[in-house]
Amino acid sequence: MKTPFITLIFIFFISLISAQSYFGHTVDNYAGVHGIIYNPANIVESNLRADINLISGSVFIDNDYIGIGFNELFNSNEDIDNSLERFPSSSNNFNINVDVLGPSFMFNLNKKSSIGISSRVRVMSNLNEIDGTLFETIEDGFDDNDDFDFDQQNFTGTAHAWAEIGLTYGRILWNKQNHLLTGAVTLKYLQGAGSAFTNSTNLEGNYVDSTETLTTSGELVYGTSNDFDNDDIDFNDLTAGFGFDIGFVYEWHPDRENDTIRFYQDPYKLKIGVSVTDIGSIKYDEGEITTYDMTATVNTATFEDDVKEFLDNNYNATAINQNIKMQLPTALHILVDYRLAKKWLISAQADLSMVAADEQLNNAISNTVLLMPRYESKWLSVFAPMSLRQYGGFTAGAGLRFGPLSVGSGSILSNLLSDSTQSADVFFGLKIPLYRK
């Protein structure tokens, strides 16, 4: 390959390291702080009296353009290109979600309420409705032998990096002998490190290999927040913003005999959770937005793997400075968790973006539906998530929580068995759990 694989993350301008974090682990009733980021109401009547996260990390990648054969990749000493299979279409998509959970903790205030504080660093990148053949030709430096046409009517791309400090408060809202309803909210103080974005609603054209000419018409917009460097994200010069998560959990305890038994002491038969996460935005002052007039025919022989330089040298551009408001990747999460036996459960989840895929200045998670059986006890949980992902198709994985250590992936099994995978994720966590007696 002429350009590194990392450039798949963001077309044209971005080269950095879209949803879901800690895939499968957040449902565990002993997940502690990790359960809060999925649904803040998980903080109430927890199986832990306190939980202290030391460091955790999660990476999620989902696309419908390129597949990787992991067996061939790890067993081959040749170029990585031999392990790649491309699926170009007129509307390819890429999503990346990197989530690092820093020092965080939660504890019970009293019998009815709990509180927690979390710290996170997040990077998300989405690329939607990009012509895969155009992308492939740019990736190969216009060293191609085929002519092609393209028409980009709803092309958008957004990359955003930010940190957040969250304060979670939850309490019991309603309880009867066999029923429990809890609710919670996480208020977030956001610190934006910067963003970059690109879009076009009318870019079309064709490429002729024999003459090495690219003929285009329409406009292409590219913008960044002030002084944002996608090759070196700086978390020292940050911009403030605010956001919040909100969630509710219902539990059915058919075997709870009287009100003296705490709900956490009597395992539920059915649990239903609903939450909305990442409501909010970060406003960047004095961002730079460049609009390129793409109506021209240019010689691609001058292209040297720097797309922005190529655009600046060949197309008329108008640049303005204005404030940029980046929305968070707002998402709806629905969970139904059923206890098959004392320590055996099966859950069904849906993670749904509340952001339109072609909406500008906004990241979005990949829509995902998940079914997961698991074994769950105080010191050990083992789970096997199986999911359908918006762009990556079917995936199957495995995860383990053993006391303070958690590791897993929602796609590792299908990736190892498949000749070509389009979605991958992995997470790890290290914490200090303080279990109830």
**What would the pLDDT profile of 242-273 be if each residue is shown by its tens digit?**
999 999 999 999 999 998 899 999 999 999 99
Contact 21, 315 (CB under 8 A): no
**Closest C-alpha to 60, from 411, 361, 352:** 411
Burial 291-328 (b: 16+ CB within 10 A, else e): bbebeeebebeebeeebeebbeebbeeeeeeeebebbb
State yes or no: pLDDT of 295 exceeds 50. Answer: yes
Cβ-Cβ contacts under 8 Å for 41 (sequence gap 6 or more): 170, 182, 183, 184, 247, 248, 249, 273, 275
State yes or no: pLDDT of 83 exceeds 90. Answer: no
How many domains does the chain contain in total?
1
The arithmetic mean of pLDDT across residues 322-343, rounded, is 95
Q: CB-based burial of residue 286 (10 Å sphere; 0-12 exposed, 13-18 middle, 19+ buried)?
A: exposed
- CA 413 to centroid of chain Cα atoms: 20
- pLDDT, residue 200, reads 92
State yes or no: pLDDT of 176 exceeds 60. Answer: yes
- pLDDT, residue 5, reads 33
Q: CB 96: neighbour CB atoms within 10 A?
A: 25
Q: Which of 122-136, 169-183, 293-307, 389-403 has the highest mean pLDDT?
A: 169-183
Contact 63, 92 (CB under 8 A): yes
Q: Which of 2-6, 67-71, 304-308 has the highest mean pLDDT?
A: 304-308
The arithmetic mean of pLDDT across residues 60-88, rounded, is 69
pLDDT digits (tens, 9 = 90+) for 375-425: 999 999 999 999 988 887 888 999 999 999 999 998 888 888 877 777 888
State yes or no: pLDDT of 327 exceeds 80. Answer: yes
Instruction: Please report, as a single letter, which amino acid is at residue 328.
Output: L
What percent of the chain stands above pLDDT 90? 62
Read off the pTM. 0.88
- pLDDT, residue 12, reads 35
Selected residue with higher pLDDT from 178 and 13: 178
pLDDT digits (tens, 9 = 90+) for 32-43: 999 999 999 999
Q: What are phi and psi of 338, to 5 degrees?
A: -120, 135
- pLDDT, residue 114, reads 97
The arithmetic mean of pLDDT across residues 363-379, rounded, is 92
The arithmetic mean of pLDDT across residues 189-211, rounded, is 92
State yes or no: pLDDT of 72 exceeds 90. Answer: no
**Closest C-alpha to 23, from 415, 418, 395, 272:** 395
CATH number of the CATH domain containing 383 = 2.40.160
- pLDDT, residue 8, reads 34
Cβ-Cβ contacts under 8 Å for 437 (sequence gap 6 or more): none
What percent of the chain stands above pLDDT 70? 89
Lowest-confidence region among 104-113, 180-189, 210-219, 232-241: 232-241
Strands (E), 89-232: 92-101, 104-108, 113-130, 148-152, 155-175, 179-200, 203-208, 213-217, 219-224
Mean pLDDT score of the chain: 87
Lowest-confidence region among 79-93, 166-180, 349-363: 79-93
Cβ-Cβ contacts under 8 Å for 261 (sequence gap 6 or more): none
Encoding tokens for residue 116?
A: 């927690």
- pLDDT, residue 408, reads 93
The arithmetic mean of pLDDT across residues 10-25, rounded, is 49
Instruction: Please report, as a single letter, which amino acid is at residue 322.
Output: Q
Contact 318, 6 (CB under 8 A): no
* pLDDT band, residue 1 (cuts 50/70/90): very low
The arithmetic mean of pLDDT across residues 178-186, rounded, is 97
- pLDDT, residue 63, reads 86
- pLDDT, residue 360, reads 81
DSSP classification of residue 192: E
- pLDDT, residue 38, reads 93
Strands (E), 253-364: 270-293, 296-299, 316-327, 331-339, 344-353
Selected residue with higher pLDDT from 7 and 128: 128
CA dist 400 and 156 (Å) reads 37
Q: Assign 11 to helix, strand or coil.
A: coil
CA dist 371 and 395 (Å) reads 11
* Residue-number span of the structural domain to which 219 is assigned: 5-435
- pLDDT, residue 420, reads 73
